[in-house]
Amino acid sequence: MTSRQEFIEKLRNSSLRPTKQRINICEVLFNRDKTFHFTINDLFNLIKDKTGEKVSLATVYNTVHAFHKKGYLKEITINSNQTYFDTNVTDHHHFFDVKEEKLIDLKNEDVGPIEIQRSIPGKKIKSVEVLVKLED
């Protein structure tokens, strides 16, 4: 399903050579059924756990940023001291469980269309994101 060939394709599309380290990163990022929300540090630790091989933190940062730039990862807007990413790159919104520091995807129909009825001259809308914070 999510094969090594696909990973290599994604890497090449992102102007990255398919190295062993980057394939390992892809393995953790894309070889899964469900959406995956993570911080760089989560990912860094998972790579060690899942592949048994260590990849340097700098490489994780570089690769994730390249994927983000290419649109293979979505950056999630939360006020936290860490940056979150999402393998679900479609336009969608999030719950954020403040206590557990966990992200949950919201389908677009769970929120409904959002009409922004104001514009700023010379600027256009790049994204519209809803973040619903949850408490107990």
Partner DNA sequence: TAGTTGTTTATAATTATTCTAAAGAAGATT
Partner DNA sequence: AATCTTCTTTAGAATAATTATAAACAACTA
**Window 81 to 120, contacts with its own copies (CB under 8 A):** 83, 95, 97-98, 104, 106-107, 109-112, 114-118, 120
- Segment lying near DNA (by CB under 7 A), choices 14-22, 90-98, 114-122, 127-135: 14-22
Residue in 134, 4, 28, 126 with CA at minimum distance from that of residue 75: 126
- Segment lying near DNA (by CB under 7 A), choices 27-35, 80-88, 96-104, 128-136: 80-88
Binding mask 44-83 for its own copies (x = CB under 8 A): -------------------------------xxxxx---x
DSSP-based three-state secondary structure for 101: coil
Side chain identity, residue 47: I
User: At its nearest, how many Å lie between its own copies and the CB of residue 16?
Assistant: 23
